[in-house]
Chains A and B, each alone.
Chain A
């Protein structure tokens, strides 16, 4: 067991991080509004060729000139187009900075370039393709069945409504509320970062669509009780009653026991 494996993240950075995090969380919501759109269905030879150039320029340093991998990055032979579409399409790749895990950012490549990269990597070895539109339609899924699957397979990391959660040593399971249907599907299929892979035998394409339907249902439906407080559960509720509730109460007691002018 290595003590403080991640020294870079010094505990004293907490106060600074508080401020930064407060600023960033606001900005992050504005950034993650990308929507999925139809993907070019077939990859032409020229796509593969273009993709190869992009790969050599942007990815090869870590993943090897022909995707064989290196110490800095895993091999990509057989990961399929879905993995590329997810990693590049969410901005996780190319990696912005070393850290416990890749973070999302504004994608560096447009959809065409992403498709070209995907076509090239897919050409390296057979792997999962970018999902069919048919499997992404949340309205055709069963959110109740998806809920059962989500709670069993996903909620322990991502929280029951996909609010996210912590993993070991600085890794984390991200919030799912703004993730597109396509990226949700690809994540299940390819197991990005430390997420396990849910292949079609484990969660069939229909199961995955049900899961997507559930995630969309719970993140898009307004909470009947009022503001959600981040859906983080009792911790957020406890903080709220201490900071808002008790401040209001103390304000009232001070007003009540002060003398009138």
Chain B
């Protein structure tokens, strides 16, 4: 900075920051950094902000929560538990809810915020997937994102289990059952986790250290990496006039984006506060203390664990078998396999797609989902696969609500488990291709004006209007992924893997709609003229 003394307030503040931390470099680097403006680019911020809300409210809760399982008698205002023997953890959660001023509000903010956090993570991730934002150079950030989802689930689950009420205890009991089913190590692992037999007196304190230290620390670290990557890569943008692979078009951080993004934090905070003021979440007082004998109808995990619980409901019992008396309990631990499989598939997808298409280029312009029918269809198949398991976790509630048989529900879920994703894939792919054809028509023949004209010889025609250049650009400026035949490697040999890749590539990309090219458009215009003069039928084109 210059050596002259600043006179304005901003100047003085800037001078202070500059001479201590060299802030000018930061401001120069980030102050006018450009962020593209689109609603779907704000979803990650929703996750970030709800995480901040959860950290703030969670810190408050730690001041009042007792992570211990010693027994005591409840003496608080909730009559149905008065005099009942409960654990210190449950007692302190009840005290937070009923006796600490604002405690219930902040507990509800914490829990609603957590549900919103994972929900926002999920739709942010879907946005990234369907637009192809995970492609080079952002593959690593996609992986960080998947890790964030996993850690988000871990944070949620460890928190769900802390109040030591009947619901959380039965959740832990299920975890204990899954752990015990693991071959070879299961029983030992269970005894180590619970400090002996289930439920023991250690688990709440242990989950507490994970919940308030390890998991949030990992989350914060991952979020940090995630944001650094966003800065390094600069943001992606949708195809549009003026947007190229070499630029980012949007709003500067200072002041516009900072005002919007900062304001958005307050909006999200306000929304979570509104929900917490009006809607009960996890009324732990209703569930009573954990006791291994009772259970409540409708015992379910929070939504983000639901798919795993749903899988446990639809898996048939015959998947458990014995080899010389040693059990392989696939009716239980296949849930772990399925979860591992889903996350594994998410981890490798960016590399899989790039391998399949032999596309190693950088991509900063996003795909419109329809312009990559295969990816979109795979994504929808994944959503159906996930949502079916998720719905299965509430099969009992759905059955009662719709007056259906619980057993029939499970048969349906079992069928959809296999058939749903395939049908979803096929329908989605056809829909995307249909939408692309529509785009093609519009690009080639212009917009239908609904103006019907009558030619002198009596024929009716609808007038089509050529698209303005920026609209035309949006409809034509994309690459349609196509079948790449097997190619020999450096030694001139076609490997078996390469043949396999080519086969897959043919399966996935044989059906495609090519984008309109300039030549086609010109040819079509020429055709139009000749057609119109030749009195060809053009109505409803």
Query: Are A237 and B405 in contact, CB atoms less than 8 angstroms apart?
Result: no
Query: Are A168 and B297 in contact, CB atoms less than 8 angstroms apart?
Result: no
Contacting A160 at CB < 8 Å: which of B116, B288, B408? B288
Contact A14 to B297, CB < 8 A, known contacts A228-B283, A256-B264? no
Whether a CB of chain B sits under 8 angstroms from the CB of A21 is: yes
Name the prevailing secondary structure of the B interface residues. helix
Whether a CB of chain B sits under 8 angstroms from the CB of A197 is: no
- Chain A, Cβ-Cβ closest to B403: A17
Give the chain A neighbours of B275 by CB distance below 8 A: 240-241, 244-245
Query: Are B288 and A151 in contact, CB atoms less than 8 angstroms apart?
Result: yes
List B residues 94-145 near A (Cβ within 8 Å): 97-98, 104, 108, 112, 115-116, 119-120, 123
Whether a CB of chain B sits under 8 angstroms from the CB of A217 is: yes
- Chain B, Cβ-Cβ closest to A252: B267
Whether a CB of chain B sits under 8 angstroms from the CB of A173 is: yes
Query: Are B281 and A237 in contact, CB atoms less than 8 angstroms apart?
Result: yes
Taking residues whose C-beta sits less than 8 angstroms from the other chain, chain A's interface range is 35 or more
Query: Are B81 and A245 in contact, CB atoms less than 8 angstroms apart?
Result: no
Whether a CB of chain B sits under 8 angstroms from the CB of A144 is: yes
- Chain A, Cβ-Cβ closest to B251: A257
List B residues 382-420 near A (Cβ within 8 Å): 393-397, 399-408, 411-412
Query: Are B297 and A240 in contact, CB atoms less than 8 angstroms apart?
Result: no
Measured CB to CB, the closest approach of chain B to A155, in angstroms, equals 5
Contact A235 to B298, CB < 8 A, known contacts A5-B405, A250-B39? yes
Taking residues whose C-beta sits less than 8 angstroms from the other chain, chain B's interface range is 35 or more
- Chain A, Cβ-Cβ closest to B407: A169
List A residues 218-261 near B (Cβ within 8 Å): 218, 223-229, 231-235, 237-242, 244-246, 248-250, 252-254, 256-258
Contacting B277 at CB < 8 Å: which of A4, A146, A226, A245? A226
- Complex formed: what's the CA distance from A240 to B281 in Å? 10
Contact A234 to B300, CB < 8 A, known contacts A151-B294, A160-B166, A224-B104? yes
Query: Are B80 and A17 in contact, CB atoms less than 8 angstroms apart?
Result: no
B261-305 interface bits toward A, Cβ cutoff 8 Å, 1 = contact, 0 = none: 001100110010001111111110111100101111111111100
Give the chain A neighbours of B452 by CB distance below 8 A: none
A144-172 interface bits toward B, Cβ cutoff 8 Å, 1 = contact, 0 = none: 10111001100111111101111111101
Give the chain B neighbours of A152 by CB distance below 8 A: 291, 293-294
- Complex formed: what's the CA distance from A214 to B80 in Å? 6
Contact A245 to B119, CB < 8 A, known contacts A144-B80, A170-B405? yes
Whether a CB of chain B sits under 8 angstroms from the CB of A30 is: no
List A residues 41-70 near B (Cβ within 8 Å): none
Contact A157 to B120, CB < 8 A, known contacts A5-B405, A17-B402, A168-B406? no
Whether a CB of chain A sits under 8 angstroms from the CB of B523 is: no
Contacting A224 at CB < 8 Å: which of B37, B98, B395, B399? B98
Give the chain B neighbours of A157 by CB distance below 8 A: 297
Query: Are A166 and B280 in contact, CB atoms less than 8 angstroms apart?
Result: no
Give the chain A neighbours of B411 by CB distance below 8 A: 3-4
A183-220 interface bits toward B, Cβ cutoff 8 Å, 1 = contact, 0 = none: 00000000000000000000000000000001001100
Give the chain B neighbours of A23 by CB distance below 8 A: none
Query: Are B115 and A225 in contact, CB atoms less than 8 angstroms apart?
Result: no
Whether a CB of chain A sits under 8 angstroms from the CB of B84 is: yes
Query: Are B407 and A256 in contact, CB atoms less than 8 angstroms apart?
Result: no
Whether a CB of chain B sits under 8 angstroms from the CB of A11 is: yes
Contact A158 to B297, CB < 8 A, known contacts A227-B280, A252-B264? yes
- Chain A, Cβ-Cβ closest to B397: A235
Query: Are B297 and A226 in contact, CB atoms less than 8 angstroms apart?
Result: no
Comparing B41-49, B188-196, B474-482, the segment that makes contact with chain A is B41-49
Query: Are A218 and B80 in contact, CB atoms less than 8 angstroms apart?
Result: yes
Contacting A6 at CB < 8 Å: which of B112, B276, B402, B405? B405
Contact A223 to B283, CB < 8 A, known contacts A17-B404, A166-B400? yes
Whether a CB of chain A sits under 8 angstroms from the CB of B11 is: no
- Complex formed: what's the CA distance from A258 to B300 in Å? 39
A1-45 interface bits toward B, Cβ cutoff 8 Å, 1 = contact, 0 = none: 001111001010010011001000000000000000000000000
Query: Are B104 and A249 in contact, CB atoms less than 8 angstroms apart?
Result: no
Query: Are A257 and B41 in contact, CB atoms less than 8 angstroms apart?
Result: yes
Give the chain B neighbours of A166 by CB distance below 8 A: 297, 395-397, 399-400, 406
- Chain A, Cβ-Cβ closest to B272: A245
Query: Are B303 and A227 in contact, CB atoms less than 8 angstroms apart?
Result: no
- Chain B, Cβ-Cβ closest to A167: B406
Query: Are B404 and A9 in contact, CB atoms less than 8 angstroms apart?
Result: yes
- Chain A, Cβ-Cβ closest to B390: A238
Whether a CB of chain B sits under 8 angstroms from the CB of A100 is: yes
- Complex formed: what's the CA distance from A160 to B167 in Å? 10
Give the chain B neighbours of A241 by CB distance below 8 A: 112, 115-116, 119, 275, 303
Whether a CB of chain B sits under 8 angstroms from the CB of A89 is: no
Contacting A155 at CB < 8 Å: which of B98, B294, B399? B294
- Chain B, Cβ-Cβ closest to A22: B401
Contact A6 to B43, CB < 8 A, known contacts A159-B296, A241-B119? no
Give the chain A neighbours of B167 by CB distance below 8 A: 233-234
Give the chain A neighbours of B263 by CB distance below 8 A: 256
Query: Are B394 and A235 in contact, CB atoms less than 8 angstroms apart?
Result: yes
Query: Are A237 and B294 in contact, CB atoms less than 8 angstroms apart?
Result: no
- Chain A, Cβ-Cβ closest to B45: A253
- Complex formed: what's the CA distance from A158 to B403 in Å? 16
- Complex formed: what's the CA distance from A218 to B78 in Å? 10
Whether a CB of chain B sits under 8 angstroms from the CB of A131 is: no
Contacting B80 at CB < 8 Å: which of A170, A217, A242, A257? A217
Give the chain A neighbours of B285 by CB distance below 8 A: 224
Query: Are B286 and A246 in contact, CB atoms less than 8 angstroms apart?
Result: no
Give the chain A neighbours of B394 by CB distance below 8 A: 235
- Complex formed: what's the CA distance from A228 to B68 in Å? 29
- Could you list some 19 contacts between A and B, CB below 8 A? A5-B408, A14-B404, A144-B82, A155-B295, A156-B296, A159-B296, A168-B406, A168-B407, A224-B280, A231-B283, A232-B397, A235-B306, A237-B115, A240-B275, A246-B116, A246-B120, A249-B116, A253-B264, A257-B260
- Add 6 more A-B contacts to A4-B408, A144-B82, A217-B79 (CB < 8 A): A17-B402, A155-B166, A166-B395, A168-B407, A173-B297, A237-B115
A-B residue pairs, 7 tightest by C-beta: A165-B297, A238-B303, A225-B280, A166-B396, A170-B405, A253-B42, A151-B294
